[in-house]
Amino acid sequence: MPMKVVDATVSTFGEVFEKFKSEADNHKANLILFLADNEPSTNLSWCPDCVRAEPVIYKKLDSSPDDVALLRAYVGDRPTWRNPVHPWRTDSSFKLRGVPTLIRWEDGAVKARLEDHEAHVEPKIEALLSGN
C-alpha cells in the first residue's frame, strides 16, 4: 500500500501534528518517527543510530500491505537535541529519551514505541506496525 509521509520540525510540529491526527482514521497505522537533523556539510544525520535505523524502518513500512501514515519529526541539530528542556523530551505524550524513536499513534495516544537502541530491529518494527 502507499505510504503517506509528512515532515515536521520543532517549529512546525504543532500544525503538522494536528493535521496528522485529523487524518488518522484514514490509515491502518499512524507512526511518528523522531529523527536527528542532517548535517548541512554531509547531508547525513549526525546521529549514528538514525543512520542505522532509517533504511530498515523505511524498508519495512514500504513493504507493509497496510495503509501507513508516517510523520517524520526532526529534533534539530545535536546541541538543540542535547538540551534537557527540548520540547519533545519534556512533552507529556512523547517523553523522548533518544533518537530515533518510532511511535505508533492510536486513539489519540502513544500505543507503542521503539527507542533508539531497538528502532532498527526488523521483528520489533513489524510488531509495532501490526499493533502487537
Active-site positions read 47, 50
Cell numbers standing for residue 91: 512533552
**For the residues of 47-78, what is the DSSP string, one character each?**
-HHHHHHHHHHHHHHHT-SS-EEEEEEE--SH
| H or E element at residue 29 | strand 29-35
